Amino acid sequence: MSRFSAPIAEQIWDMKYRFRAADGTPEDGSVEDTWRRIARDLASVETDSARWEEKFYGALEDFRFLPAGRIIAGAGTARQVTLFNCFVMGTIPDSMDGIFSALREAALTMQQGGGIGYDFSTIRPKGAEVRGVAADASGPLSFMDVWDAMCRTIMSAGSRRGAMMATMRCDHPDIEEFIAVKSDPARLRMFNLSVLVTDAFMEAVKSDAPWTLQFDGRVYRTLPARDLWNRMMRATYDYAEPGVIFIDRINAMNNLAYCETISATNPCGEQPLPPYGACLLGSVNLARLVAEPFEEGAHLDEEALDDLVATAVRMMDNVVDISKFPLPEQRAEAQAKRRIGLGVTGLADALLMMGLRYGSEEAARQSGRWLRRVARAAYLASVRLAREKGAFPLFDADAFLMSGTMQKMDDDVRDQVREHGIRNALLTSIAPTGTISLYAGNVSSGIEPVFAYAYKRKVLQKDGSRSEEEVVDYAVQMWRDLKGDAPLPDHFVNAQTLTPAEHVRMQAAAQEWVDSSISKTINCPEDIAFDAFKDVYLQAWDSGCKGCTTYRPNDVTGSVLSVSEEKDAAPAVVASGMGEPREPHSDVIYMADPLDRPQALEGNTYKLKWPDSEHAIYVTINDIIISGRRRPFEVFINSKNMEHFAWTVALTRMISAVFRRGGDVSFVVEELKAVFDPRGGAWIKGKYIPSILALIGGVIEQHMIAIGFLEGEGLGLKNDPQALAMAAGEGAPGAVCPSCGQFGMRMIEGCMTCPSCGYSRCS
C-alpha cells in the first residue's frame, strides 16, 4: 500500500527526491528505499550505526520528520553536492581583486547547490574616489549586476538556478538606489533584496529625526529618516522588494554574539549568518502528530513531539559531519559552531485539526506553546549530544548563557547547558517548506496559513490535451475522509481571508521561540492603503519580529493563484476576439512529454558571421502550429568550421528538446544572450555581442518576434495569457512556473513558489 496520501506527493518524490543512476534508472524502488538511504547515511558516523539507522528511519517514516530537500535528494548518493541549504559568503573587500575573488567563491557555492547571501554595504558608494587610479567608484549596485549575470549562467547542483540575497545597511550612501533598483524589471532578477534596518533608524523614523548616510567615516548626506522609510515602503508596496531585516535585534538575540557579527541572511531570510556561515534545515511535521483530529479531544501528541525533535537534532548534527562543502572556509565555520535549523511545517493544518482559527489570539498562543516545546526539546537533546560527543568548539558557557535567546530559556535548560555544554550553537529556524510539504501530502507550508483548500492542477498530455487532478490540503482531505460531505467548519480560513495583522501575530508568536529567524510572507490585499501597508512593518517591529516580508498582488508583482472553494464552479471563459469563447491560457501549451515531430515543418534559415572567423554559422529554426498559433519547435546549427561541431550539435539537441516541451521557452534567448566569452565579444551592426552563443540567442529572439511568439526584444509572450485574461475581466492567473509550466506562482514563505510542483525561486 502506498505511503503517499496524494498523487502529487508521489509525483514530487519521483521527480525531485528519488535517487536515480546516471542513465536515469531508479535506485530508490520506493519511498521506503529513500528513507532507508537517508537513515543509513546519517547513521554512518555513529558508533552504533545499526541502532541509529532504525531510529532515524522511524523519524522519517510517514513523513513525520522532513529533512530539507537537499538532504532527501543527496544523502547516501555519493554525489559531490552540499547537503546544506544556506550560506552567507565572506565579507566583500572594497577592492577590485577582493570583489572578484568573492564572485568566484559565490559561483563555486552555487554550483554545488547552495543559496547564498551577501552584504554589499562594504563596497564604497558610487562616485567615491578610487585612490591610485584617478577614477570614481561605480558603487555596489554595479557589482551586483555582475553577480546577477554570474548567477544566470550557473546551474545550481545541475538542476536549477542559484538563489541570492543582497543586503545593504540603511545608512549606506547608495541605499536609495538599492531601494529603487527593482523598479527596473530587467535588473537584478536573480537577487532577493533586503535592507538592514538598525534600532537607531527605527527610533529616528518614529521621532521624525534626521538620518545620516555615511561610509568609512565620511558623511555623504543627511535626510529625514521618515522620507527614507517611506521610499522603502513605497518600493515594497509596488514591487514586493526590498524586505526589511531588523539587524540589531538579530545580533542582540544571537547565541553567538560573543564571537560573530551578522550582516546578511540566506535568500529566504530564515537564516541570519556570519561570513562563511552555513546552515542546514529540517522540519517536524506537526500535522502528523495530531491525535483525534476534528474531535473534542483533539490534541498534539507532545511526548511524540519531544522524541521526534530529539531524533531530528541528532540526524541534523550528523549532517554537519557527512556533508560536502563548496569552500573550506564554510566547512570550518560549520564545524566550529555546528549550527542547525530545525523548524516545523503543517502548523496551520494542525491548528485546523484542533478546531483553532489561524490568526486568532488563541491560535497564536497555541503556536507559541508548541514552538516553545520544540525549542526546549531541541536544546535538551543538544545538551545530551554534548555530553556524549562534546560541545561545539567555540562554546563559552558564560557568554553563551548571556545571549538574548538563552536568557529567557527555562532554568533547568540553562543549568544543563552550564554543566554539560551544548552541541549546536543555534538550533531552530522556520524555513520554506513548499516542496517537501507537497511531498508530505500537501500539508500547509511552515507556519503559513493554508493557501487554498483545493485547486485544480493541469496535467497536459503528449497530444496537447489536458487532464486535471485535484490537489487538496492535507487537513481538508482528512476532514473529508472523517466527515464525508459535511461542510467545513467556520474556523477553516485561508491566506485570502486573513488580515495582515493576523499574519504578524502568528509570526511574532513563533519568533519568540526561534533562535534564528522565520521565512514567512504577510499577504496584503491589493487595495490596502499605503499608510495601512506601512503600518504592517511597524507592527512587525513592535511585536518582536526579526524581519518582515509582504506581498501585495498588483500589475507589477503579479496576481496570486485564483482559487475557488466551490467544488462545482463553472469554468471561466475568455473572449478570444475570434467569434468563440475559449479557456483561459489556451494560447500557450505546456506538455508533460514532448510532441511528436510532424512530417513537414515550416521555418527559416539565418546566416551568421562572427568577425575574424573564416566560416559562417547557419541557424535553421522550424515552427509548429498549435491551437492556431505558431511557435518554435526545433533548431539546427551548422558550420564548416569543425572546431564548432561538438558544441553546435549539443546546442541543437538541447534547444530542440526544450522547444518540444512547450510553454514559454523564451528563457532560452535570455540564457544564450547572457553568455560572455572570456576572450572578448564583438561589435556587429553597431551593437556589442558578448559571444557567438549570444549572437545565436539574438537570432532566435528575432525569429520568435517575427512569428508572433514574442512581443519584441526583451519582452514577454505575444498574446500573453495573463494579459488576455485580465482584459476580459478575469483575475490574472499568476506567473508561469519555469519548472512545470503551470500558472499560479504565488508568494509564500518569502519567495515565489509553484503550488503544482513545489518549485521555489529561492531554493
Question: Cβ neighbours of residue 280 under 8 Å, at least 6 residues apart?
Answer: 68, 70, 71, 83, 84, 85, 86, 316, 319, 320, 323, 340, 341
DSSP-assigned letters across all residues of 188-233? STTEEEEEEE-HHHHHHHHHT-EEEEEETTEEEEEEEHHHHHHHHH
Question: Cβ neighbours of residue 675 under 8 Å, at least 6 residues apart?
Answer: 153, 690, 691, 693, 694, 697
514 close to 428: Cβ distance less than 8 angstroms: yes
Residue 182, SS3? helix
Number of H helices, E strands in the chain: 25, 33
Q: What is the rounded distance in angstroms from the CA atom of residue 302 to the CA atom of residue 290?
A: 9
User: Which has the closest alpha carbon to 622: 667, 665, 668, 660?
Assistant: 660
Catalytic residue selected from 151, 268, 545, 737:
268
Residue 308, SS3? helix
Q: What is the rounded distance in angstroms from the CA atom of residue 429 to the CA atom of residue 282?
A: 9
- Specify whether 268 is catalytic: yes
Grid coordinates given for 498 = 486573513
Question: What torsion do the CA atoms of 320, 322, 327, 333 make, to the nearest 10 degrees?
Answer: 20
- Strand-pair category, 278-285 with 243-246: unpaired
Phi-psi region of 379 (alpha: psi -120 to 50; beta: other; left: phi over 0): alpha
Strand partners for 748: 751
546 close to 250: Cβ distance less than 8 angstroms: yes
Using alpha carbons, list the distances in angstroms from residue 358 to 84, 479, 506, 534, 747: 31, 17, 8, 23, 18
Q: In this structure, what DSSP letter does residue 135 have?
A: E
Catalytic residue selected from 105, 241, 270, 333:
270
Question: What torsion do the CA atoms of 281, 759, 746, 360 make, to the nearest 10 degrees?
Answer: -30
Catalytic residue selected from 266, 424, 494, 523:
266
Q: What is the CA radius of gyration of the chain?
A: 26
Phi, psi angle pair for 108, to nearest 5°:
-65, -40
Grid coordinates given for 540 = 512587525
- Specify whether 266 is catalytic: yes
User: Which has the closest alpha carbon to 214: 166, 179, 175, 167?
Assistant: 175
- Specify whether 270 is catalytic: yes
628 class by beta-carbon count within 10 Å (0-12 exposed, 13-18 middle, 19+ buried): exposed
Question: Which letter, b or e, does each residue of 486-503 get, where b requires 16 or more Cβ atoms within 10 Å of its Cβ?
Answer: eeeeeebbbbbebbbebb
List, by residue number, the catalytic residues. Answer: 266, 268, 270
